Amino acid sequence: MGISYSTPAPSEKPPAAATSLRQLVPARDDVEDEAPPPYSASAPTTTVSLSQIRNWEEILLQDPKNRLAITTLATTPFTTLLRNQPTLRTDTQIFNIRIPLEGQPITNQRSSGRCWLFASTNVFRVPLMNRYHLADFELSQAYLFYWDKIEKANFFLEQIVATAGLDLSSRLVQTLLQDPVTDGGQWDMVANVVRKYGLVPHVLYPDPVNAQASAKMDWLVTAKLREHALRLRSLVSKSSREGAMDAAVARAKDEALREIHALVTLMLGPPPRPDEEFVWEFDDAVSGRARRVVDTPRGFAEKAFAMAATRRTEVDPTSMISLVNDPRNEFGRLMTVDRLGNVVEGRPITYVNVDMKTIKAAAIAMLRAGHPVFFGCDVGKSSDSTLGVMDAELWDLELAFNVTLGMTKAERLSSGESSMTHAMVLTAVHVEDGKPVRWRVQNSWGDQVGDKGWFVMTDRWMDEFTFQVVVDPRFVSKEVRDILNQEPTVLPRWDPMGVLA
């Protein structure tokens, strides 16, 4: 069915722009007039002027440097051409504070958005490697990924029922519908999944193909969830008119979740059950002997974290807190994000908003004590994955383009230019005259990028593009810990701090 446009009455004179447009189209006697709607006549100051463009181009090309830029940029990406070589010479993998066991191997999330699960399990594995004398070790990221998908689907359906009274086009409902089972997540979300389902070694539930390349699975699950969301909204609307429909809504929600469970299970494979025993066999790197552990996923995690809680030399990952730097909002405040989570009965997303000085001090204290640090950042800014460098002065944009980037961190957050897009792990820092200079970063993009999978992050880059570190509460002051007792400021679901790494 074609789109109909209103046309002027015969007595009306068409706008000048419309007359000009029709003059460009040859007349045909055998068809009806199906010309597109006329362009609106605009004041000269609001339109793109071809004469002005011509003038700008002439001025631009008068400069030999600009002509050289056009030639070189035609064959070389500016991110390669404009690398700041003097700056890169200082971005070395040399650090004077480094944790004794960083964890091996370098992991690879492949074509998925599971960085938060890789970063968190890379943190979890270090005390386990110490305890069991492991030369290299991975926890199953796919195990947590599976349960997170199920929990996110349930969380989404609950939010759809709770917001059924809002218009479908409302910003909140549209935000919920946008990406209901995103691969991304946050520290509190992985803590929720680990508390409920535990952990298993990677060898017991390795990565299936639909975890390594999750886009098609995510599309199918999302399409079905949106379909079920519309049905649930309709049932809730009918319930409000007729009453006594709560049971029908509950049944429809259970049917929806059962279908999602089937899709996820068929594509990822049934995972170990959290309350059933597994057998894990491995070689002790110290004694050289084969060892055997029999436990449940829940028991495996609980024993590991319980032991950490009783040892001052270890940290309990489930008790760690998120320090964030959001300069749009008041420092010294507790924040959360409306309707963001995975496990319905789990703890909400909780952020302690502090300045970067506090964040760096806590991270350095963790590293001095030998503990890896989970952190969230905007990895795509001033970053080169081939070199493994994250440096705010990485590119000399002024050299070719005569421009500089002038927004503050707060302005980038407010305008959509920046958000927390990726999670990684800090394992070392270089400090000079009491101040951090650069940080060692363990990424999860495999060992073919950076320095065999390792990146270096300058301290200025950290100031500009790092938003979060996760630390044990004992490495911050009582003043910071007391912020956890506040009533949180609730950010809207579409806030950039609600973007999941």
The whole-number pLDDT of residue 258 equals 99
One fold for 97-108+317-338+349-498 and 115-130+138-268 = yes
pLDDT of residue 317: 76
Q: What is the pLDDT of residue 25?
A: 46
- pLDDT value of residue 86: 95
Question: What pLDDT score does 318 carry?
Answer: 78
Which CATH class for the 115-130+138-268 domain?
Answer: alpha beta
Query: What pLDDT, on the 0 to 100 scale, is given for residue 377?
Result: 99
Q: How far apart are CA 252 and CA 278, in angstroms?
A: 35
What DSSP letter does each residue of 409-423 carry, written as one string? HHHHHHHTS----EE
Write down the pLDDT at residue 378.
99
pLDDT of residue 43: 66
What pLDDT shows up at residue 218? 99
Query: Please, are residues 394 and 89 in contact by the beta-carbon 8 Å criterion?
Result: no
Look up 202 and say whether it is catalytic.
Answer: no
Is the pLDDT at 26 greater than 90? The verdict is no
Helix (H) or strand (E) holding 18: helix 16-24
pLDDT at 204 over 90: yes
| Res. 174: pLDDT tops 90 | yes
pLDDT of 5: 40
In this prediction, residues 42-56 reach a mean pLDDT of: 86
Average pLDDT over residues 439-443: 99
Per-domain residue ranges of the chain: 97-108+317-338+349-498, 115-130+138-268
Of 466, 420, 445, the closest CA to residue 182 belongs to 420
Residues 6+ apart with CB under 8 A from 6: none
Mean pLDDT of 169-197: 98
pLDDT, residue 35, reads 62
**pLDDT greater than 50 at residue 117:** yes
Q: How far apart are CA 350 and CA 491, in angstroms?
A: 11
pLDDT in tens, 282-298: 999 999 999 999 999 99
Mean pLDDT, range 450-466, rounded to an integer: 99
- Once rounded to an integer, what is the mean pLDDT over residues 424-438? 99
Identified catalytic residue from 108, 115, 210, 377:
115
- Indicate whether 20 pLDDT > 70: no
What mean pLDDT value characterizes the chain?
92
Give the pLDDT mean for 7-12: 43
pLDDT on residue 22? 44
pLDDT at site 315: 72
pLDDT at 10: 44
Q: Is the pLDDT of residue 270 over 90?
A: yes
Predicted confidence (pLDDT) per residue in 155-170, tens digit: 999 999 999 999 999 9
Of these residues, 192, 325, 342, 443, which one is catalytic? 443
pTM: 0.90
Query: Taking 70 as the threshold, does the pLDDT of residue 15 lie above it?
Result: no
377 carries an active-site annotation: no
Weakest mean pLDDT among 3-17, 250-264, 455-469:
3-17
Fold of the 97-108+317-338+349-498 domain: Cathepsin B; Chain A (3.90.70)
The DSSP secondary structure of 185-224, one letter per residue, reads --HHHHHHHHHHH---BGGGSPPPHHHHB-HHHHHHHHHH
Whether 366 contacts 216, CB under 8 Å: no
Query: What's residue 21's pLDDT?
Result: 42
Report in angstroms the alpha-carbon separations of 430 from 14, 248, 382, 427, 434: 71, 60, 20, 11, 10
CA dist 183 and 114 (Å) reads: 6
Q: Per the residue annotation, which of 228, 371, 422, 430 is the catalytic one?
A: 422
pLDDT tier at 303, thresholds 50, 70, 90: confident
pLDDT of residue 212: 99
What is the pLDDT averaged over residues 336-363?
98
Residue 115 catalytic?
Answer: yes
Residues 6+ apart with CB under 8 A from 434: none
SS3 292: strand
